[in-house]
Amino acid sequence: MIQRIQTLYLLVAAIVSAGLIFVFNLWTVAETKKYAIDLFSEASLLNKLVPVLFFLSAIVAVISIFSYKDRQKQFVLGRVIMLINLFLLGVLIYLSLNLPGEGSSEKGIGMFIPTVAILFSVMANRAIKKDEDLVKSVDRLR
């Protein structure tokens, strides 16, 4: 399990998804006036969805690590990680474009976390594909 490179790629993707969200800011908004928050507005629901998607991506990566015996399942879970992170990236872009404040809001480096997770997931899927091709070629020789 650990000796395979895709396990390391998936582990890094899980750490990036779950751990780095606490280290880097997604965005910062200067405090101006505080109004009552509408809990059912679209922006507040999306703000609550962002951490859930980060942790969902990390959980799917960990599940994929422990399903190392079934390479097809691991490959599919890698694609699910990519889809979750693409959706998360879209939500983050939407939220960053709708930030309040004309000049007082800044986008943080944390906006690139889903991109890094997608990159490591793609590298893991390539390694899984290489393993699958190697097993198929050995089965042909038998």
Query: Any idea where the domains of the chain sit in the sequence?
Result: 5-26+39-136
Asked if residue 117 has pLDDT above 80, the reply is: yes
What are the CB-based long-range contacts (under 8 Å, 24+) for 55-59? 55/17, 55/18, 56/84, 57/13, 57/14, 57/17, 57/18, 57/81, 57/84, 57/85, 57/88, 57/114, 57/117, 58/13, 58/14, 58/15, 58/17, 58/18
- The pLDDT-based confidence of 98 (bands split at 50, 70, 90) is confident
Residue 40 is predicted with a pLDDT of: 44
**Which pTM was predicted?**
0.80
Q: What is the percent of the chain where pLDDT is above 70?
A: 75
